[in-house]
Structure 1
Amino acid sequence: MKLKSATEETIESIEGEFRADRNMLRIIANIISSSDESLHSLKVNMYLNMYDVNSLISDIAILTSDNKVIRINGMDLDATGVLDFESIKARGEHISTLLKDLEREGVYDLRSFVPIRRNDETIAFLYGTTTPEDIMNAWAPEIYDGHATVSVIERSSGVFLIDAAGRVGKNLNDVEINVSEISVDDNLKNSILSGRSGYAIGKDASTGIIKYYCFLPMNLADWEMVVSVPEDDVYAQMQPLSRALNYYLLVAAVIFIAYFLFILKITSGSLEGIERRANVDALTGLQNRNRYEYFCEHLQQGTDGLACIYFDVNGLHDINNNLGHLAGDNMLKTIAKAICEEFGESNTYRIGGDEFVAFRYDRNEDMVRKDMEKVEKTISDAGYHVACGLSMATPDRKLAVVIKEAEEEMYESKRKYYESIGKEMRG
């Protein structure tokens, strides 16, 4: 169903933005945590400037234990009454509900908090700030030619955190929707506030417009995505589909026998080709993210001797910008070949644009680290560079933990590389 697919794409887009920003905040927080510099020092300010402010996060700052905010521009603020260090510390790393902006009257922000720890104690929080308007501008919905309304509701409070209809800060209980049909055994508001998935048809009491609703839970905090489309726009898009369906029915009888005979002639080799296209990365020939997620799902527990090696390409962005995407593609193919030759085609995956993961069995950590360094040198000899991370599994550790540790070591390697060449860290 198009409405559900569009809602899922919207969730993936917004969550992807927040995940990327949170990863960058974690890296910077780890750098600050590992240094003995004062939080007010120029060096810490330099670390803050490593962050690439984008269309989603408009600013980053540090909240200290006395509720003071250290900012990049040096104009520190007193956040008392808006931000409370102790209550934030009790929650740890999280994304906040709507909170007052520290400078602009009548503006409310969302903040992503990451702890800064020294000597096993949280001494401050690094946070990124965004507004609901920034999020909507970063993802301009084109669902039903822009006629859909995208909303994000905080389930614990019922407050609209993001809303294309201008209801940010209002409560769901104050919005009257007369529901005529719903796909779950509950009313619409309870379904949204309890984190359920489903569809509904209802009339918005404030506008009198009948709308089709799709509601799905998000993985961020306790948020629920709701996308609604006016009935007229739903049927307007169905009219061309109806005409196409009639045409299809007209010709279906003619082609059915030919199609049936074609299906009978499909060989096992062609089936393997279909499977290969679904599971193999077209550029590098490695197994793709589909196969990687399948592997992770079916090996929830680690085993002795299983190693995860995480690779991330350094400099792809610069090569694409300066030499063109063909040069960037050649870089990725060269790096993929080096990893595959060492770890084997069945153990190597391209899981993102410039990210690769490999697994190795029945080797101790020293041996695998030598294997990883061998790959790193092969890539370096070819004129490229990758950041690497390694983690070993044990029978009692879930694979997700092993992969995360390898990824964290990779990020530290990446940070040191960019620090060594005097550049800001990029993908």
Structure 2
Amino acid sequence: MHKNLIATALLLASFLAALLFVSWFINDLTEQSGFRVLRQATLQLRKEIHDRVMGDQDQLRALAALVGREENPASRGIETILAAYETRGLVSSLEILLPGDEVLLKNGSRRSVAGLLSFEEELRKAPYVSNVETALDGSGKKVLRNCVPILQNGTPTALLMGVIELGRLPGLFESRAFGTVCQIYIMAGDSGDFILDTWHKTPGNSNALGGRQAKAGYDWARMRKDLAEGRPGNIVFLSRTVGEYFYLHYEPLGINTWSVMLSIPESVLFQDAKRIKTALILLISGVLAACGAFFGWAVFNARRETKEKEAQLHLTRQALDMEKTLSSAHRNPDHIRKGLSTVADMLTAESTCFLIFKNGQADQSWNFRKDALNEQNRMPLHAAMELPALRALLAEQKNLLLDPVGTARKLPPHESEELRRMGLHNLMLALVEEPKGALTGVLAAANMRRRWKDTERLQIATLSFATALSNIDTHLAIKKMSEFDALTGLLNRNCFENSLPEYQTRGFQSLGCVYVDANGLHELNNTHGHEAGDRMLQGIASVLCAEFGRDNAYRIGGDEFVAFVIDADRETLPRKVRAVEKAAKGKQYHCAMGTAWSPAPFSAYGLIKTAERNMYASKRQYYSGKADRRKARI
């Protein structure tokens, strides 16, 4: 009895240690995954903010050109433009800084700003976006200024200033992650001033953050250094307002020394991890309860105690091994086959399978058969799930035991006969549901030597497979975000950079490259709005995808695309290029395209550079004789 007590205590300790380890592992994995999601959301928001600021600056340049046609920058016509100005961008009003350090306000009045702004100094900095300043109209509001020079005959005569009110910014931007709205911050790295803060009523300064407790492993000083030097990073801190940790990622914005930040509460980030840990606790609690019952029964029957204890320990080891194996199945799908082998041992089954449904349709399947030599001669077990009555019965009951498969009250005779024709004598099925509901799985075992009374053992296994299913779903979502461009659906620059070595090393006989740039995108954005520009990019992307295939077409920049043609003769590439030009022209779009082709051996990087140079030659020809601002860049 004393030995049994010691063994039970040790078993309990091992379960608790395993629970602590798995809990730590899940927290660490969730934290890393969460920061990856936050980084992607931050990068998307950074692009949106940067594009809107630069878009406003383009609009201000156009207005400055219009103002520059007036002989007097403070004429009645200019006052009318200032008073009537409306925009969908960030700028809420216009002001003009005049020589002599005077500012012309939108109401037509003039105000001296001597000591506040120097016309000569501000003109030397233009075009630029200011840091936080006080409004010049006497309202005391905190503002930013997007400034461009006004030229008359090529000479700067005044400065057009687009006023951005800080109080309006929280209502203009939103970012979501993990199904909820994130807190958004923009901070100037040199001064520490918050330009945008959706969490607090008024923006403050980063000096106030130093009093908040940072989580172990994170440091406010390191964050301040990163922000001052324009580097991305992460920090976790305790919020005084709600009393919980917030996870924050920051990225340099590319404007002044600004950085954009997104934060999310720990309760949101770890909501799935908590569910998984609860499932693990329930699993281990169930095992411990079984061990307790076993120990009580062992008092009356020592021989049965030893036998049952060994069996229970073996099952526990299998469950823990399977849990460990399946925790990394999203990175190595072969681990699912190892898990199925463990299920087959647990149930004394001849074959097992795991089938994943996505949106109600079979998406992936794994099969395991102990008699591997005859595997090719037998229909895979997942084919049984094509029987409609069997699927409907499983959806209703969640767990199903057919022993024998010809149980007439559960299945129609023709489906029972079909199962027997497949060589199945008995069958155990369990539904595996992923917490977020995006994927559903079915775990099955067939031709079990032992006759089971219920599906309990298979249900224990489903907890591990549910974890794998959740990890697979998260992995697929992250992979899609990291490899695909959200606007066009093409592979993105990140995927492009990762794929280039494969084009170089996979032993292709030839490689062709086309480098594409959308002509007129900026003009289309300025005249018809960014939605029209987005449609243009989507149209060009669809044409490239149709000609070059989804696996070899990339969007590598704002209006730049690259596509490859593999193991094709020299004439194939220009033929495809002509097809793209024709299709794009049919959509009222024009592309500048450059190509390069080479048989093996070749340099993929060299082909890209050659195609890019040829594209710029095409673009120069397109813009030849046109007064277009992009010519200077070419």
**Partner residue of 1:129 out of 146, 163, 166:** 163
Following superposition, the deviation at residue 161 of structure 1 comes to 1.4
Distance 1:162 1:362 in 2: 40
Q: Which residue of 1 aligns with 2:173?
A: 139
Q: In structure 2, give the amino acid aligned to 1:310.
A: G
Q: Which residue of 2 aligns with 1:411?
A: none
Task: Identify unmatched segments of 5+ residues in structure 2.
Answer: 1-35, 281-322, 341-353, 357-362, 368-479, 501-515, 545-573, 595-613
Query: 1:11-410 to 2 correspondence within 5 Å?
Result: 11-33=46-68, 35-45=69-79, 48=82, 52-54=86-88, 56-103=90-137, 105-143=139-177, 148-166=182-200, 168=202, 170-175=204-209, 176-182=211-217, 187-204=222-239, 208-236=243-271, 238-239=273-274, 254-255=354-355, 310=520, 312-313=523-524, 344=578, 357-359=591-593, 368=621, 389=628, 401-402=633-634
Check the 8 A contact 2:218/2:236 in 1, yes or no: no
1:187 partner SS? helix
**Partner residue of 2:43 out of 8, 14, 19:** 8
Check the 8 A contact 2:197/2:203 in 1, yes or no: no
Distance 1:349 1:156 in 2: 49
Distance 1:164 1:354 in 2: 41
Distance 1:195 1:233 in 2: 28
Distance 2:249 2:78 in 1: 45
Task: Identify unmatched segments of 5+ residues in structure 1.
Answer: 262-273, 299-305, 374-386, 393-399, 403-427
Check the 8 A contact 1:113/1:128 in 2, yes or no: yes
Report the CA distance shift for 1:40/1:372 in structure 2 as closer, same or farther (over 3 A): same
Check the 8 A contact 1:160/1:167 in 2, yes or no: no
Q: Which residue of 2 aligns with 1:422?
A: none
Check the 8 A contact 2:94/2:106 in 1, yes or no: yes
Distance 1:315 1:186 in 2: 42
Following superposition, the deviation at residue 79 of structure 1 comes to 3.2
Which consecutive segments of 4 or more residues in structure 1 shift more than 6 A?
Answer: 183-186, 240-251, 346-350, 362-365
Report the CA distance shift for 1:310/1:359 in structure 2 as closer, same or farther (over 3 A): farther
Report the CA distance shift for 1:391/1:313 in structure 2 as closer, same or farther (over 3 A): closer
Check the 8 A contact 2:126/2:147 in 1, yes or no: yes
Q: In structure 2, give the amino acid aligned to 1:211.
A: F
2:249 partner SS? strand
Report the CA distance shift for 1:241/1:85 in structure 2 as closer, same or farther (over 3 A): farther
Following superposition, the deviation at residue 71 of structure 1 comes to 3.5
Following superposition, the deviation at residue 153 of structure 1 comes to 0.9
2:74 partner SS? coil
Alpha-carbon RMSD: 5.3
Distance 2:519 2:59 in 1: 21
Distance 2:279 2:527 in 1: 44
Distance 2:59 2:279 in 1: 47
Following superposition, the deviation at residue 207 of structure 1 comes to 6.0
1:233 partner SS? helix
Distance 1:357 1:242 in 2: 53
2:254 partner SS? coil
**Which of these two proteins has the greater Rg computed from alpha carbons?**
2
Identity over aligned pairs, percent = 18
Q: In structure 2, give the amino acid aligned to 1:37.
A: E
Report the CA distance shift for 1:391/1:129 in structure 2 as closer, same or farther (over 3 A): closer
Q: Which residue of 1 aligns with 2:442?
A: none
Distance 2:276 2:86 in 1: 44
Q: In structure 2, give the amino acid aligned to 1:231.
A: E
TM-score by length of 1: 0.61
Check the 8 A contact 1:151/1:226 in 2, yes or no: yes
1:220 partner SS? coil
Specify which structure has the higher proportion of helix: 2
Report the CA distance shift for 1:4/1:100 in structure 2 as closer, same or farther (over 3 A): same
Q: In structure 1, give the amino acid aligned to 2:592.
A: A
1:123 partner SS? strand
TM-score by length of 2: 0.43
Distance 2:520 2:45 in 1: 28
Following superposition, the deviation at residue 214 of structure 1 comes to 0.8
Q: In structure 2, give the amino acid aligned to 1:21.
A: D
Distance 1:244 1:111 in 2: 54
Check the 8 A contact 2:105/2:137 in 1, yes or no: no
Following superposition, the deviation at residue 236 of structure 1 comes to 2.6
Q: In structure 1, give the amino acid aligned to 2:205.
A: N
Distance 2:146 2:583 in 1: 31
Report how many residues are paired: 338
Distance 2:617 2:185 in 1: 50
Following superposition, the deviation at residue 46 of structure 1 comes to 5.6
Following superposition, the deviation at residue 94 of structure 1 comes to 1.0
Cα deviation code 1:205-256 (max 9, x no counterpart): 6764322111111111110112222222222355568899999979955249
